[in-house]
Amino acid sequence: MNWIKKLRDTAILVLIFIAAVIGFSYYTNKGNDNMTADMGSATYPQISFSYNGYVLNTLSGFARAMDITAMRDTITPANARMVEGTIQPYENQIKKASYTIYTLDGKEKMGEGELSRNGDSFTVELSDAVTAGREHVLEIVLNIGGENDVYFYTRIADGADLGVAESLDYIRGFHENAMNKVEGAGVGAAIEPNESANNTTFQHVTIHSDYDHVSWGELEPMVEMGERWDITEMNGDSISVRLEYRVRCKGEENESDVYHVEEFFRVRHVTGSQTTYLLDYDRTMEQIFDVTKKMLNENGIVLGIVPPDVPYLVNENGSEVSFVVANELWNYSKDTDEISLVFSFTDVENSDVRNMIPHHEIKLLGTDGAGFTMFAVSGYMSRGSHEGEVGVAIYEYSAKKNSVEEKAFISSNKSYGFAINELSSMVYYSMKQNNLYVMLEGTLYEFDLTKNKSNTLVEGLMDEQYVVSEDGHLVAWQEGEKLNEATKVTVMNLETGKARKAESAGDECVRPLGFVKNDFVYGVAKTADTGRTVSGEVAVPMYKIEIQNGKEEIVKTYQVDGIYVLDTTFDVNMITLNRATKSGETYTSTTADYITNNREKEASNIDLKSYTTELKETQMRLVYNDGISDREPKVLKPKQILTEDTGDINFDDISYGGKFFVYGYGELQGVYDRAGEAIRAAEPYSGCVVDSNQSYVWEQGNRSKQHFIAGKDEVIQNIGERLRQRQAPVDILKEMNDGRILDMSGCSVEMLLYLIDRDNPVIGMLDAERAVILVGYTEGSVVYIDADSGERRAAPIGEVDQMTSGSGNTYIG
């Protein structure tokens, strides 16, 4: 009978426990439909392409049709006018597969039909309408059941006569020989070591690094799970390829460490020969934070070989730090002795390659004293509730609840690069107000996520009429419709909702320029100073720059007699002032000046510091000033709170007309208003510049060794005649080109040769009145026409740069 009694007592205890759990669950979720769950596995299929035995351009699928003009992350070579590839269905059943070939601007279809499949392999035959030597965009749509279509995109071009196979073979050989330290295999002969490289770190290695760093030192790398090959640019001059992979290397605190590596090559194969040249090389590696190994010591948190600017955020009392390494967000609390993997698309087992594609970026937004941390994930969502979408997700992490809750999702039909570079910089979430702010196309939107309401705070602003701080919590905009007439600027703190003003006198205008930490920088101009630049553009230059703190106090004024500021650029703690002098009504560029921020960083108990060891060289760690005693913290994996409605916001119709896009090292690096700025930004990346229709504006290389513009004698003569009449260059070329020009001021002549090779004459200003027309070049020299005399002359490239220095190297094309 005792066993019956024990069984009865046990059953009663079980019932009580179940009732308690149900009661607790009801209490904690009362009035809240939220649930907690894991993110879930990736579910979409993938597509990859093949060329001469290489698996290339493995594509992730999108949940909807995307903007064709933004889909230029990869380019796939066609072989004998055929594109070949493979579908990786994973657990999906492919019900239907179709394709469409578009022009780069997406306005015209050049072919469409059902995908020709043989098992998981497929082919796309290029129609006669697809012109050889031109790029197009291939869209493949896979139906995985019902209305579930998955979209894939790549540019395509004929690979004939481009030396694609030979270039890929060279890259594979270099990659493997460098890893294995194969002496005499050409690695040492191909690189160009010089003093510009940092030979104290393996984190960033370039073509200018020494042989030991290019060949991985003594790290003994071993690739895990294979390399992912992407062709990012392909033309008659060169081929650019990016490799992504994970590599295991010899460790110090641990037997081995694992890294995410991105390796970029630009190579040129000489057709009809066995010769291939390495034109550029760039490799970055970032150590993957592994809590199963030693990651704490007496100093703090050991990050290892990671970038020197690792994003991190410290709470108010200096006990807790959030940090981002290798596209994962971690949080460590010294008080509770816990470390949490707050966010990662990578699965725990590191087994699903779909989750390892780093097409997203994590941005820390803020933290408070109650254990809450806000962060944003921008780019391509490889799994979870937004799988296959591009956008910006705003999350709230609660250390006390050990949970992550999505607060809002802003979706876009552009590429992941646009979300990272553009959309994420225009988004801010206020922890105090529970409001989301989005600044897009001159309109500042406010979304009250508590009441599910939206409001427009200001609209109709031009790009130059507003600025946003780096972390997004401050925004300033002009009051008034015209840039050069506004006498007031509103500065709003989006975290608190409070606003302040910056004002000028009635005969002056005030122009927002940017922020240095929480200080607002603006310029003041007099409408009476209106004139023109050397190129002929209307200018109202600023005669003084002021910096205002949060209390509306002027903490610094920059003003020099006879010197005006045309515009400014901001870089970390330095402001570059692009200055000019005035002669009559004309402003001529002169030497730049700089304002530096000497304000010290706020003191914190936790700092990011570098240290050096013999094997791994320069490394980073988050140092606690008072050290860490316990080195085996409890590891947590926060649950995701699933909410029925997180306030999805759509911004598909963003217009980028008139903008210039810089692509380099296989990624979108930035968006610029002026062609000259974009070209200068693209040059260090061996990149290219395209406009909003994907038309090429500039490419590194890809030009003839010499070229003379032919068939445009009348055009060039017309330009010369109008320059002799002292008409403004911008007016001349706008009239001749439907209002469009390329302002390439500040570029070197070497950069302009690409345009001349495309039969585009370029006007170069010698001073406020005299001009030359660049019409050709040979190796080392430029051919130009003197606008005043009409004489054709030739001069060394450097000499022409010197000739135009008096105008601030003003070039219009």
Encoded tokens for 795: 């001069």
Rounded CA-CA distance 381/42 in Å is: 10
Residue 1 has pLDDT above 50, yes or no: no
- For 686, the domain range is 660-695
- In a shared domain, residues 277 and 325: no
Rounded CA-CA distance 176/178 in Å is: 5
| CA angle, 699 then 703 then 704, to 5° | 175
Of 134, 157, 180, the residue that ends a domain is 157
Encoded tokens for 325: 């390494």
Q: What is the pLDDT of residue 644?
A: 59
Output Rg (C-alpha) for the chain, integer angstroms.
Answer: 29
The answer to whether position 534 is within a domain reads no
Q: What is the pLDDT of residue 21?
A: 32
The answer to whether position 446 is within a domain reads yes
- In a shared domain, residues 340 and 462: yes
Q: For residue range 780-803, what is the model confidence (pLDDT) as tens digits?
A: 999 999 999 999 999 999 999 999
10 Å CB burial of residue 104 (0-12, 13-18, 19+) is buried
Among residues 674, 679, 673, 811, the alpha carbon closest in space to that of 745 is found at 811
- b/e 445-482 (16+ beta carbons within 10 angstroms → b): bbbebeeeeeeebbeebeeebbbbbebbbbbbbbeeee
Q: For residue range 322-350, what is the model confidence (pLDDT) as tens digits?
A: 999 999 999 999 888 999 999 999 876 66
Q: For residue range 160-178, what is the model confidence (pLDDT) as tens digits?
A: 888 999 999 999 999 999 9
The answer to whether position 596 is within a domain reads no
At 767, the amino acid letter reads D
Write out the DSSP string of 534-546: TTS-EE--EEEEE
Token look-up 């304002």 returns: 595
Rounded CA-CA distance 403/36 in Å is: 8
Q: How confident is the model at residue 599 (pLDDT cuts 50, 70, 90)?
A: low
Encoded tokens for 84: 């070949």
At 107, the amino acid letter reads K
Average pLDDT over residues 81-108: 95
The answer to whether position 396 is within a domain reads yes
Backbone angles phi, psi at 804, to 5 degrees: -90, 0
Q: For residue range 46-92, what is the model confidence (pLDDT) as tens digits?
A: 999 999 999 999 999 999 999 999 999 999 999 888 999 999 999 99
The answer to whether position 509 is within a domain reads no
- Contact between residue 490 and residue 498 where contact means Cβ atoms under 8 Å apart: no
Average pLDDT over residues 235-249: 95
Q: What is the pLDDT of residue 544?
A: 94
Half-sphere exposure of 691 (CA within 13 A, CB side): 13
Pick 410 or 644 by higher pLDDT.
Answer: 410
Q: How confident is the model at residue 428 (pLDDT cuts 50, 70, 90)?
A: confident
Q: How far is CA 799 from CA 465, 775, 788, 795, in A?
A: 38, 16, 19, 6
Residue 22 has pLDDT above 50, yes or no: no
Rounded CA-CA distance 479/465 in Å is: 9
Residue 23 has pLDDT above 80, yes or no: no
Rounded CA-CA distance 491/468 in Å is: 10
Of 139, 157, 175, the residue that ends a domain is 157
Average pLDDT over residues 700-718: 91
Global confidence as pTM: 0.90
- Contact between residue 412 and residue 656 where contact means Cβ atoms under 8 Å apart: no
Rounded CA-CA distance 360/417 in Å is: 8
10 Å CB burial of residue 535 (0-12, 13-18, 19+) is buried
Q: For residue range 399-418, what is the model confidence (pLDDT) as tens digits?
A: 989 999 998 888 999 998 88
Rounded CA-CA distance 342/161 in Å is: 49
Q: How far is CA 502 from the centre of its chain?
A: 32
Encoded tokens for 90: 């994973």
Encoded tokens for 669: 């690096």
Work out the number of other CB atoms within 10 angstroms of the CB of residue 284.
19
Token look-up 């002032």 returns: 577
Q: For residue range 554-582, what is the model confidence (pLDDT) as tens digits?
A: 999 999 999 999 999 888 778 999 999 99
Q: What is the pLDDT of residue 574?
A: 87
- In a shared domain, residues 21 and 117: no
Going by their DSSP bridges, the two strands 586-589 and 593-596 should be labelled as: unpaired
Q: What is the pLDDT of residue 330?
A: 96
Q: What is the pLDDT of residue 3?
A: 40
| CA angle, 585 then 586 then 589, to 5° | 150
Q: What is the pLDDT of residue 602?
A: 63
- In a shared domain, residues 616 and 686: no
Reduced to 3 states, what is the DSSP secondary structure of residue 661?
strand
The answer to whether position 594 is within a domain reads no
Average pLDDT over residues 530-555: 90
Rounded CA-CA distance 384/586 in Å is: 58
Token look-up 């995109």 returns: 153
**DSSP for residue 130:** S
Encoded tokens for 457: 């705070």
At 392, the amino acid letter reads V
Q: How confident is the model at residue 433 (pLDDT cuts 50, 70, 90)?
A: confident
- In a shared domain, residues 244 and 363: no
- In a shared domain, residues 255 and 347: no
Average pLDDT over residues 217-231: 96
Rounded CA-CA distance 729/719 in Å is: 8
- In a shared domain, residues 71 and 190: no
Q: What is the CATH number of the domain that holds 75?
A: 2.60.40.10
Q: What is the pLDDT of residue 193?
A: 96
- Contact between residue 734 and residue 813 where contact means Cβ atoms under 8 Å apart: no
Work out the number of other CB atoms within 10 angstroms of the CB of residue 650.
11
Number of compact structural domains in the chain:
6
Rounded CA-CA distance 314/335 in Å is: 13
- In a shared domain, residues 666 and 795: no
- In a shared domain, residues 353 and 444: yes
Q: What is the pLDDT of residue 778?
A: 94
Q: How far is CA 365 from the centre of its chain?
A: 18
Q: Share the mean pLDDT of the chain.
A: 88
| In the chain, % of residues over pLDDT 70 | 93
Q: 3-class secondary structure for 225-248?
A: EEEEEEEEEECCCCEEEEEEEEEE
- In a shared domain, residues 469 and 396: yes
Q: What is the pLDDT of residue 54?
A: 96
Average pLDDT over residues 709-723: 91
Average pLDDT over residues 5-31: 36
Backbone CA torsion sign across 649, 650, 653, 657? positive
Max mean pLDDT among 38-47, 614-623, 648-657 falls in 614-623
Pick the range with the lowest mean pLDDT from 32-41, 311-320, 708-717: 32-41
| In the chain, % of residues over pLDDT 90 | 60
Check residue 384 and give left, alpha or beta (phi > 0: left; psi -120 to 50: alpha): left
Rounded CA-CA distance 753/778 in Å is: 10
Pick the range with the lowest mean pLDDT from 117-131, 673-687, 781-795: 117-131
Q: What is the pLDDT of residue 629?
A: 78
Rounded CA-CA distance 94/87 in Å is: 9
Name every residue whose Cβ is closer than 8 Å to that of residue 733 and which is 6 or more positions away in sequence. 719, 741, 763, 812, 813
The answer to whether position 784 is within a domain reads yes
Backbone angles phi, psi at 345, to 5 degrees: -80, -20
Q: What is the CATH number of the domain that holds 262?
A: 3.10.450
Q: What is the pLDDT of residue 109?
A: 94
Write out the DSSP string of 711-771: S-HHHHHHHHHHHHTT--HHHHHHHHTTT---B-TT--HHHHHHHHHTT--EEEESSSS-E
Pick the range with the lowest mean pLDDT from 2-6, 212-216, 593-597: 2-6
**DSSP for residue 62:** B
Rounded CA-CA distance 199/220 in Å is: 18
- In a shared domain, residues 141 and 207: no
Q: How confident is the model at residue 376 (pLDDT cuts 50, 70, 90)?
A: very high
- Number of residues that this document lists for the chain: 813
Q: What is the pLDDT of residue 648?
A: 64
- In a shared domain, residues 239 and 373: no
Average pLDDT over residues 626-637: 84
Work out the number of other CB atoms within 10 angstroms of the CB of residue 145.
11
Rounded CA-CA distance 99/102 in Å is: 10
Q: What is the pLDDT of residue 658?
A: 83
Q: What is the pLDDT of residue 36?
A: 55
10 Å CB burial of residue 33 (0-12, 13-18, 19+) is exposed
- b/e 260-277 (16+ beta carbons within 10 angstroms → b): bbbbbbbbbbeeeeeebe
Write out the DSSP string of 162-218: TTHHHHHHHHHHHHHHHHTT-TTSSHHHH----TTS-TT-SSEEETTS-HHHHTTTT
Work out the number of other CB atoms within 10 angstroms of the CB of residue 180.
14
The answer to whether position 564 is within a domain reads no
Average pLDDT over residues 660-686: 92
Rounded CA-CA distance 44/89 in Å is: 8
Half-sphere exposure of 342 (CA within 13 A, CB side): 33
